[in-house]
Structure 1
Amino acid sequence: MDYSHLLATNYKSIIAQYLEEDVPSFDYGGYVVGDEDKVATLYCKAEGVLAGVPFFDEVFKQLDCRVEWTHKEGSHLSPQGKLAVAQVYGKARKILLGERTALNILCRCSGIALRARQVHDLQTSKGFKGVIAATRKTTPGFRLVEKYGVLVGGLDTHRMDLSSMVMLKDNHVWSSGSITTAVKNARAVCGFSLKIEVECQSEEEADEAIAAGADIVMLDNFTGEGLKVAAKNIKQRWAEKGVNHFMIESSGGITYETCAQYFCDGKKKKDHPFYIDSFLSPSLSIDIDILSMSTITQGVPHVDFSLKINKD
């Protein structure tokens, strides 16, 4: 998949800001090396999933350099020592001016893509058919890069920002007075085009959210077994009333090491009274439709890349 086509023009201004942050005034090192034409090799020195290519390319495009890749984005890299994955052509000072910014982006994005790929592979091996998504717990100023890495790794980005979906968490509910009031107020302004999700601490709260018209109920901080029991109870209770417009999400403390505990069997059951054969239907995984994990973007090791100017 070529996810670069998702990027609008705003990422170019973000790259310009990154470069400005790194060189706010004089480029002393650039003065030392001058304008001689050089070629630099990009090496991968640790396991990773190559991600962030469009951002890397844009760094050097803004510096009048060009990049030629020998590996495609999304490739799983397992170097023995170091592996050449690209060549950068340009003036020596321009290559070195963009070096650290480009590497920071690539190292971070590829680390996230690796973690996402590991979770995706585990999901596939266990047969879980629900959606696994990252969260909005990202680095300020770096969200676009991090969410992009999640996509390259094979997982869902969840909402991109506060304007993408209405998520009513405990603080929203407490400030509004009740789940019902919070959902009513949200729907009054977000209209039909946005989904409303409500964070719930119990089956009772989930029932209130569904009755109020929530599209997604998030069962927060449940154990794996506790989640499966609660989700099954909620789905069956509302199925008996002919209601299946909602999905169930689980979040809170889920990691790569523990996520399999939250997987249900993932089988589509065509004898289910509200079976719908479509992606993201409420009956896709019957009980648990979405798992969201902040650990896809938080606390993830970077992949080690380096950029070395070739010796003549």
Structure 2
Amino acid sequence: MPNHAALLLPTAVARAIEAWLAEDVSSFDYGGYVVGDAEKTATLYCKSRGVLAGVPFFDEVFRQTGCTVVWAVEEGAEIDPDGGRVAVATVRGPARRILMGERVALNILARCSGVASRARRLRALADAHGFAGAVAGTRKTTPGFRLVEKYGMEVGGADTHRMDLSTMVMLKDNHVWATGSITRAVAEARRVAGFSVKIEVECQSEAEAAEAIEAGADIVMLDNFPPAALNAAALSLKSRHARRPVLVEASGGITEETAAQYMGPGVDIISFGSMTQGVPHVDFSLKIAH
């Protein structure tokens, strides 16, 4: 089934890619002068296993350089070159224009596909353990590249969590310390955020989570809990506060290797900074026919 994540993207994608191309060609394109404007065809190859993600960004790069792209593989597909390489798309246009967009397009595709691949593995791991909650990526993204990385999560089947500071209130330890208490921080957040924005509170203990729930938080994050303690606290909070439904999030240093230990029945969300940090890229190359 085709992946329709591209329908989520804003028009700002074009401006971002224009800026990335300008960064890479800041004055003269000497290599472009060498190859000239002869019409050429280049093949995009995938050389390592992963989920293909980032197609709309790749397309926009070459649209702006005056080239066309035809895909042989659908976005969201898992590719396994098995030690070789798989042709996934063809790019046609003037030689210098293909090469002008090559590195920007490959960098985007490699990073986005890497994030999507980890997201797909984490979601599959959750499904295999019968965990129906959300597997989410955090806001630990690369400045200027968040849209691409969050898009990769979406293609990979993970939850994108909050996109930025405006889409959900997350009160962390510094907010609480600066305000004086969890109760006061939640009250101040609710006063300005109104009814339409959810409030989440990062908690270091079950007692803090209970205070956050009583103060009106929609989500409590149990941060850096050992797995057994986290699962016990999640069930306890759900039982003690059954009259006020609240979501429980597990977070803090959770990896692919440890994730299954956090997939208890009281947990609604598991969030991973590792969905974007330290992610291996998928290896792509673009070769002009000769």
Would you say same fold, with TM above 0.5?
yes
Match of 1:75 in 2: 77
Give how far 1:243 is off.
Answer: 2.2
Give how far 1:203 is off.
Answer: 1.0
C-alpha separation in 1, matches of 2:244 and 2:217: 12
Match of 1:251 in 2: 251
Q: Write the deviation string for residues 159-200 of structure 1: whole angstroms up to 9, x where unpaired.
A: 000011000000000000000110011111111110000001
Secondary structure class of the residue paired with 1:205: helix
Match of 1:34 in 2: 36
Give how far 1:264 is off.
Answer: 1.7
Match of 1:61 in 2: 63
Amino acid of the residue matched to residue 248 of structure 2? Answer: I
Q: Which runs of 4+ in 1 moved over 6 A?
A: none
Match of 2:203 in 1: 200
Length-normalised TM-score, structure 2:
0.98
Amino acid of the residue matched to residue 125 of structure 1? Answer: A
Secondary structure class of the residue paired with 1:163: coil
Match of 1:6 in 2: 8
C-alpha separation in 1, matches of 2:236 and 2:50: 40
Match of 1:299 in 2: 278
Amino acid of the residue matched to residue 112 of structure 2? Answer: C
Match of 1:309 in 2: 288
Instruction: In structure 1, list runs of 5 or more residues that go unmatched.
Output: 266-286
Q: Write the deviation string for residues 219-269 of structure 1: whole angstroms up to 9, x where unpaired.
A: 000011111100111111112xx222x11111001001100000125xxxx
- % of aligned pairs identical? 64
Q: Pick the aligned partner of 1:84 from 61, 82, 87.
A: 87
Amino acid of the residue matched to residue 137 of structure 2? Answer: A
Where do 1:73-152 residues align within 5 Å? 73-80=75-82, 81-152=84-155
Amino acid of the residue matched to residue 10 of structure 2? Answer: A
Secondary structure class of the residue paired with 2:241: helix
C-alpha separation in 2, matches of 1:31 and 1:70: 30
Q: Pick the aligned partner of 1:236 from 216, 235, 239.
A: 239
Match of 1:268 in 2: none
Q: Pick the aligned partner of 2:219 from 216, 228, 240.
A: 216
C-alpha separation in 2, matches of 1:121 and 1:202: 30
C-alpha separation in 2, matches of 1:228 and 1:102: 43
Instruction: In structure 2, list runs of 5 or more residues that go unmatched.
Output: none
C-alpha separation in 2, matches of 1:41 and 1:238: 58
> Is residue 258 of structure 2 the alignment partner of residue 264 of structure 1?
no
Where do 1:279-294 residues align within 5 Å? 287-294=266-273
Match of 2:162 in 1: 159
Q: Write the deviation string for residues 77-97 of structure 1: whole angstroms up to 9, x where unpaired.
A: 000311100000000000000
